[in-house]
Chain A
């Protein structure tokens, strides 16, 4: 299988390189190159499909002689997850990334017209790079133990946190986004190459929209996964992993808007090129950050370096220098066309929006890169000295100047950085979206603008009042609630106006509406979430917080072998069962904790498990050597084991030397157990040899662990109560989380509508005519089926 798999990877790599070379030679007049290019594109698809099929076969057939299969599956794994396990590791995720890429390439061949050789040589070079990574991190390597290939009977299994629906859909969606983001890049480089500075935007727009939708949806799915399964307490933690995929999404949003400006009035040509290149460079930078181990000390995720660091870094440098180099080369050749002079025009508002998006992307990108920037020799130490001397931190005290800089010059920024910088900048976007959609591209009639703003303004006032009534008093959240309602209003107004000329034109406005809903939800859930209260609930008893009464029914094991805290939660007449998971997973060697979430209309009830305390018997004392324990009136100290008189044949004795304090008096005594065997009873038995305690009770040695040097002493006769088991949970209410999901879904629908519209327009352009967009679904279906 190793040989077959590796052959397929090499075949795929060779085909991709053939396509690249063939296409690259075509513009120089070698028309036969075009034929080679097209064949290469087809052959790459065949090879990648074969790789995927082989990998799937190995996972489903449970071929544990393959290292990758061994590491990510096991016999007890559900069949659906056996397929998903294909992309659980690094090589597999590059495989599906490449799969989407080569599928997109098939469509690109037919949609690129004169640009075909230019665009596809770039695009196939990227696929070749991905296949090269797959070759280096070969998923078909046999499992080796001490240098010998062996076939284990079972695999190591898939992490339980990955065994849910999100694992099935999140990575594929993310990699669709990554794969499609290469299309605008390839079109941009192709455009610079063939000096077509406008046409590429028309062709690349639907692809860019599709990539933008996938990446946005992937961000949502990742957030929901973290919120629902991983129990991080929120859907967004400003962790480097999240940030590094948010930044290219922000720049791709800017790119989309720049493309729209250029499409309409041919302005912003250089900006569009720069953004298309920058977005793909940032996609690669994100891959580099998460797969090279450079951030391992600065993230919740410890990124593991697996031999691709140098290759990924080299690719990144090549991509950045190649892309921006091309742009610099053609810079003076690109004719610039002035934008509208009027401030109240879409031209101006799009520019401001692009600036705001890029500024947010820069702040997040720089913040996330701080550990890398400070790792450059000399830079970290210099910056640390500068910071120590120039500003105060947290509670107003400065760093001890003598203690700065630290030997290791690196530093990072905690999540506070983003939650203080991003919200005010995001508000700029909201303000732009209040007026922007109502404007004409070049100019606007102020009177009709003001007329249009009446009802949305009323909405903003109402939203502000509702916010005040609900207890939103801080200026920034109040501004968000009110201005988001305002922008919601104007965009809904535009949707109503646009619907007359066909629902296919509402995509952009709908995406804005989604963003507003999302922002209100984000503000509510981050700023107005209740604190996390820690509840200690004994088994069979109830504890209340925020009007919810939590009853603990005990710790149980589910048929799948997961441990749950069985809780009943009531508020008023409403009762529901909550089962947060908390158990020790032997395979992973880790405690698994998964929260229980009850989504209600206005808030989520978030129950996070933190500890399970087993029943505690007050008649027992559990002590390591030198430790003390109390049972009723007695205080014991465990002094050590006594095995001194274990010399009688046929028996062995173990004693625990104890110091006992009772009513101020201390005595030393040794309860023992004796193992007895005799010729008639070779199995033998254990005989308790209790010690008499001063108060008239007996102390027995209930259990001992010679490895940990621990003993368990039980006192007979006191008959003290047994404390029940206890669940320790944290409970919090998170308002508005529903709005976050709802907002993203509205945005995604808007994006998809825009994809359909721009694809239809693109096809029309391909046939050299202007399309009349279909109005209803029926007309759309006829429109699509007519070709």
Chain B
């Protein structure tokens, strides 16, 4: 160790390049934090947890019925959790294409206490094996 000589260091003077690089990284951290606040969605399999939190979550459950369109063109179906509790889910878009096959479904959205329904922004349909595996493979 006594003979170890550290490699020659270049001057560590701060150059404009360093400042700009640091600025880019700082901007990314700031944006990342801001993005987190708008897009953070905790995952739950309990309807009670989803309704009590009051904000946007990812609620996973099973199909309580096959769903239908309401008068406003929303797709409405019942979501059931593992305790057997049910909640109506209102989805403002057309029925997902593989809805009928769903073994489970994840609704991303929030609970609307005034209407007693879960308003879903997005639905992730989980299907048995094959079909989805291929979609994963092709992407």
Task: Give the bracket for the number of chain A residues in contact with chain B.
Answer: 35 or more
- Residues on B with C-beta less than 8 A from A608 are 94
Query: Is A574 interfacial (CB 8 A cutoff)?
Result: no
Contact B100 A393 (CB under 8 A): no
Contact A730 B94 (CB under 8 A): yes
Among B27, B93, B135, B139, the one with the most A-chain Cβ atoms within 10 Å of its Cβ is: B139
Query: Is A593 interfacial (CB 8 A cutoff)?
Result: yes
A417-B35, A588-B101 known; A412-B58 Cβ under 8 A? yes
Query: Is B63 interfacial (CB 8 A cutoff)?
Result: no
Query: Is B60 interfacial (CB 8 A cutoff)?
Result: yes
Which residue in chain B gives the minimum CB-CB distance to A418? B35
Query: Is B73 interfacial (CB 8 A cutoff)?
Result: yes
Contact B94 A407 (CB under 8 A): no
Contact A362 B73 (CB under 8 A): no
Contact A589 B35 (CB under 8 A): no
- Residues on A with C-beta less than 8 A from B124 are 297-300, 302
Query: Is B79 interfacial (CB 8 A cutoff)?
Result: no
Query: Is A421 interfacial (CB 8 A cutoff)?
Result: yes
Query: Is A702 interfacial (CB 8 A cutoff)?
Result: no
A720 to B136, CA, bound (A): 50
Contact A71 B130 (CB under 8 A): yes
Contact of B42 among A348, A392, A406 (CB under 8 A): A406
B56 → chain A, closest Cβ, in Å? 6
- Residues on A with C-beta less than 8 A from B100 are 589-591
A367 to B129, CA, bound (A): 26
Contact of A159 among B56, B108, B110, B134 (CB under 8 A): B134
A351 to B136, CA, bound (A): 35
A406-B42, A590-B97 known; A170-B138 Cβ under 8 A? yes
Query: Is A222 interfacial (CB 8 A cutoff)?
Result: yes
B5 → chain A, closest Cβ, in Å? 11
Query: Is B117 interfacial (CB 8 A cutoff)?
Result: no
- Residues on B with C-beta less than 8 A from A338 are 10
Contact A363 B32 (CB under 8 A): yes
Query: Is A570 interfacial (CB 8 A cutoff)?
Result: no
Contact A393 B37 (CB under 8 A): yes
Contact of B49 among A352, A387, A403, A590 (CB under 8 A): A403
B78-100 near A? 1/0 per residue, CB < 8 Å: 00000000000000011101111
Query: Is B20 interfacial (CB 8 A cutoff)?
Result: yes
Instruction: Summarize A's interface: helix, strand, loop or mixed.
Output: mixed
Query: Is B15 interfacial (CB 8 A cutoff)?
Result: yes
Query: Is A341 interfacial (CB 8 A cutoff)?
Result: yes
A428 to B129, CA, bound (A): 42
Among B43, B52, B69, the one with the most A-chain Cβ atoms within 10 Å of its Cβ is: B43
Contact A393 B40 (CB under 8 A): yes
Contact B49 A406 (CB under 8 A): yes
Contact of A424 among B27, B58, B98, B108 (CB under 8 A): B27
Contact of A403 among B53, B73, B99, B101 (CB under 8 A): B53
- Residues on B with C-beta less than 8 A from A290 are 136-137, 139
A90 to B21, CA, bound (A): 41
- Residues on B with C-beta less than 8 A from A296 are 126
A105-124 near B? 1/0 per residue, CB < 8 Å: 00000000000000000000
A225-B138, A366-B32, A590-B98 known; A407-B49 Cβ under 8 A? yes
Interchain Cβ contacts under 8 Å between A and B, 21 examples: A87-B137, A88-B137, A88-B138, A90-B133, A159-B131, A166-B138, A291-B136, A299-B124, A300-B124, A359-B28, A387-B36, A408-B43, A413-B36, A413-B39, A415-B39, A418-B35, A420-B39, A425-B24, A536-B73, A590-B97, A593-B94
User: 16 extra interchain contacts, Cβ-Cβ under 8 A, other than A332-B7, A403-B53, A610-B94?
Assistant: A89-B137, A159-B130, A297-B106, A298-B43, A302-B126, A304-B129, A360-B28, A393-B55, A404-B53, A406-B53, A408-B45, A413-B41, A418-B35, A424-B27, A590-B101, A610-B93
The 6 closest A-B pairs by CB, nearest first: A610-B94, A417-B39, A241-B139, A403-B52, A359-B28, A417-B35
Interface residues of B (CB under 8 A from A): 7, 10, 15-17, 20-21, 24-25, 27-28, 31-32, 34-46, 49, 52-58, 60, 69, 73, 93-95, 97-101, 106, 108, 110, 121-122, 124-127, 129-139
